[in-house]
Structures are given as C-alpha cells and as structure tokens.
Amino acid sequence: MSTAGELLEVSLGPQHPSTHGVFRMNAVLDGETIVKLKPVMGYLHRNHEQIGEGITYIGSFPFTDRLDYFSAMSNNFGLAIAIEKLGGITASERGEYLRIIMAELTRLVNHTAVTGFLLNDMGAFGTPLLYAFREREKILDLFEAASGSRMMCNYVRPGGVRQDVPEDWLKQAKEIVDHYPHFLDEFEKLLTENEIIRQRAQNVGVLSKELAVNASITGPMLRASGVDYDIRKVDGYSLYPRFSFRVPLGSVGDVYDRYYIRILEMRQSVKILQQALKDIPEGPAISPKGAAMGKAPRTFRPAKNEAYGRIEAPKGELGFYLVSDGSPQPYRYHVRAPSFVNLTVLEDLCIGHKVADAIIILGSIDIVLGEVDR
C-alpha cells in the first residue's frame, strides 16, 4: 500500500475554537497543506429577513442589532438610511452627527476586537484580545450611557437617534477618543513589528485586486488589496463629506495588510470623531417625522417603492434593500451582509497554505456568524 498522496479530510467546526461561532470548514489536507476547502454556513440561520417582512419598519431595528453583534450601531444606521430613502425622511443635523459618532465608535470597537481575535487565532494566549477588550469596554460604557445597552443598542432611528445623549456624554466621549491613539500606539508596539506576527501574516492569504473586485469584496479587506473604495467617500452619505479623513490602502492584500489597514482605519476614525465631537451642533436629536414614526410605527406607510440604503460598516458594505407595498410592513426586506460576501473567497485564499494559515485567514476576513447566516 502506498501512502503517498493520501489526503486527510478534516472538518474544522462547527464546534471548533477558532471558527468564530458555528461555522464549518471542510478542509482536505495533504500533510498540513490545504488542497481543498469548503465553507459550510447556515448553522446560525435565524430568519432575519423573513421576520423583517412580518413586522413594522421600526420593529426591525432591534433585530439588526443582532446581525453583526459587534457593531449594532452601524447596523441600525444602515437600516435607518434605507428607511429614510424609502420614506423621504430627512434627519436632523444633531442626529446625523450623533449617528456618525456612534458609527465611528463602532468601527473602533469592531476593529480592535477583530485584531485581538486575529491574534488569538495566531495562538497568542489572549493578551492582545484582552487589551482590545479593555479599550472596547470603555466605548461600550459610552453606548450604555447613550442608549441603555452595551451591545444591543437599538439607538439609531430614521431621522436621527432615539434619544439625545445625556449631559456630559460628549465630554466623556472626547476623553476616550483622545486617549485612543495612545492605546493604538501601545497595541502597535505589541504587534506591528513583532517578527513572529510578520512571519505568520505576511504573504499569507494574498487576495489579488482582480479577485477582490470580482468577488465584490468590500470593506477593509478590499482596501487591503489596494482598491480605493470606501462608501463614506463614494456615496458621501449622511454628513461624511464634511469631515476630512483619508482612506488607507494596502499594497499586498495579505493577512498582515488586512491587520494593518484596520489599525490605520482606526486612526482615521479617531480623526473623524474628533472633528465630529468638536462641531456637533445643538438642536433636536431626531427630526419630527422620524420622532412621529418612532412613536407610532404603524403610521409609517411608505408609498409603493423600493430603496437600497448602504453604509460603510466596519466589515464592509452593509446594505438594506426594502420594497414597500404601501403597508406598514416591508414587502421585501433583504440584507446585503458584508461578512457573508467577504467569506466567499475563503477557499481561494486558503488553498496551498497550511491549516494554521487557514485559521488566521478566516480571522482576518473578520466574520460574525450572526451576519453571515442571518
């Protein structure tokens, strides 16, 4: 019997420490090298879209919190923009500022956490992850003070935000935001030039520009491959054109670039936050139309129409597609989940690499199973 070329089929998941939830990779190994890899999704399917078609537009907001549970505020924001387009609602200026502040804080939360998780996937004993969580907690405290909940915020509404932030909140936020670059410096000192991390991450899972565009990858993953596409710049939704920030781009498109892009994006987010916290005007946090809608969700009956609202969520393009038939519930409610679309190239990235690389490639894609499976 010859054992040469005998392949080993390993099922990584659905219960595996590093699949970020109930996700499964059926890998075929030649020694330790991956020859074939099939992602299996759907273990966390929760009928999100179907539920959304059965309840009012406002009623979907708490469910969007649970899509990508790391960035509830951004998810709310995306749906709010779609509903505003559908119903012709405009947001109050303070509301827009608050939404941008929340969305950028969410980006900080998400990117620190995902960097921590990526390092955990590389085998660090939780240290970067816990540093990330230490800082994340501070921002979650801010979310709690504003919305009443740390993760399931349900805060952003069409027309603005549900409640104005409490007194002192902006001052606390400013303190935390101003401290954030120091934390990032420390974090980078721990990680960026670490030779082990470079060895592990550089040239691993290279995503070419062409493949990234063809597979409609979005978010930091696309920009790490060097494609200049940021919906904040492209669409200029909300008040983003008012702020000055840069879109960092990677050159290689490997795991290391995807890590480093996130660090650079956080620095840009801090810049946006500082501007927003400085310029935020007084006034109502929500426009009258939005407030009326929040008070009585069933009175909101948009005319027969369709709308697609999208934002640059921390993970990529988060889009909500709504079709109205004139009733209080949407006729069709669809979510374009960035995690799900970004995950489709997993096999292309992994083939030819080792098992250990597959894990960190998955980690660098930054998925949340709540969003992948919906």
Partner 1 sequence: MSLPSLETLFVKPAILLRDLFPESARPWVSIGIAIGAIAAVAPLIMMYLTWIERKLIARMQNRFGPTRVGVYGLLQPMADGLKMLIKEDIAPQGADRLLHAMAPILAVAPAILLFAVLPFGRYLIAADLNVGLLYFFAISSISAYAIFMGGWASRSKFSILGAMRGVAQVISYEVPGVLSAVVVIMIAGTMSTVGIVEAQAQRWFIATPWGFVAGIIFFLSGVAEVNRTPFDMPEAESELVAGFHTEYSGMKFALWYMAEFLEAFAVCAFAVTFFLGGWQGPAVPFWVLTVLGSALIATARKLSLPVRVVATALLLAAGLVWIKEPIPSWMWFLAKTYALVFVLVWLRGTFPRLRVDQLMGLAWKFLLPMALINILAAGLWWFWRDSFIGWFLSAAILALSYWLLILANHPARRFEAALSSRG
Partner 2 sequence: MAFIGAGVLRGMGVTFRTFLETYPWGRVLLRGLRQPAVEGLVTIEYPDVKQKHAERFRYFPFLVYDGTPDNLRCVSCKICEQECPPQCIYITGPAKDEQGRPQKANGRTFPVEFKIDVSICMSCRICVDVCPFDAIEMDNQYELSSSERFGSLILNKQELLKPNEYFQRIKPTEASEVDARLAAKRPKPQPVFPPKAP
Map residues 30-69 to x or -, x wherever contact with partner 2 holds by CB under 8 A.
---------------------x---xx-xxxxxx-xx---
What residues line the site for partner 1 (CB under 8 A)?
A: 8-10, 16-18, 29, 32, 119-127, 130-131, 134, 190, 192, 194-200, 202-203, 248, 250-252, 256, 260, 264, 354-357, 359
- With CB under 5 to 8 Å by kind, the binding choice for 354 among partner 2, partner 1, none is partner 1
CA dihedral 223, 226, 229, 233 (to 10 degrees): 90
Q: Where are the alpha helices (DSSP H) in 192-287?
A: 195-201, 209-214, 220-224, 231-234, 255-279
Interaction of residue 160 with partner 2, rule CB under 8 A: no
Q: In angstroms, what is the minimal distance from the CB of 204 to partner 1?
A: 9
| Residue written as token pair 């795991």 | 255
Interaction of residue 163 with partner 2, rule CB under 8 A: yes
Please report the beta strands in the chain, taking only residues with DSSP state E, as ranges in sequence order: 8-12, 24-30, 33-40, 156-157, 160-161, 305-313, 316-324, 330-336
Q: In angstroms, what is the minimal distance from the CB of 268 to partner 1?
A: 12
Give the nearer residue to partner 1 in terms of CB position, either 239 or 355. Answer: 355
Map residues 69-108 to x or -, x wherever contact with partner 2 holds by CB under 8 A.
----------------------------------------
- What one-letter code names the amino acid at 369? L
Q: How far apart are CA 321 and CA 67, in angstroms?
A: 15
Cα 39 versus chain centre, distance: 20
Q: In angstroms, what is the minimal distance from the CB of 2 to partner 2?
A: 42
Q: In angstroms, what is the minimal distance from the CB of 193 to partner 1?
A: 8
Q: In angstroms, what is the minimal distance from the CB of 51 to partner 2?
A: 8
Q: Using CB under 8 A, which residues numbered 119 to 158 contact partner 2?
A: 127, 131, 134, 137, 141, 144-149, 152, 154
Structure token pair of residue 93: 């200026």
- With CB under 5 to 8 Å by kind, the binding choice for 10 among partner 2, partner 1, none is partner 1
Q: How far apart are CA 299 and CA 341, in angstroms?
A: 35
Strands 160-161 and 305-313 turn out to be unpaired
Q: Which residues of 309-320 are buried (b: 16+ CB within 10 A; e: fewer)?
A: bbbbbbbbbbbb
- With CB under 5 to 8 Å by kind, the binding choice for 355 among partner 1, partner 2, none is partner 1
Q: In angstroms, what is the minimal distance from the CB of 62 to partner 2?
A: 3
Return contacts of 274-277, CB within 8 angstroms, 24+ apart. 274/174, 274/177, 274/178, 275/242, 275/243, 275/244, 276/97, 276/100, 276/101, 276/104, 276/243, 277/101, 277/170, 277/173, 277/174, 277/177
Q: In angstroms, what is the minimal distance from the CB of 334 to partner 1?
A: 34
Residues that bind partner 2 (CB under 8 A): 51, 55-56, 58-63, 65-66, 127, 131, 134, 137, 141, 144-149, 152, 154, 162-163, 166, 186, 189-196, 198, 294-298
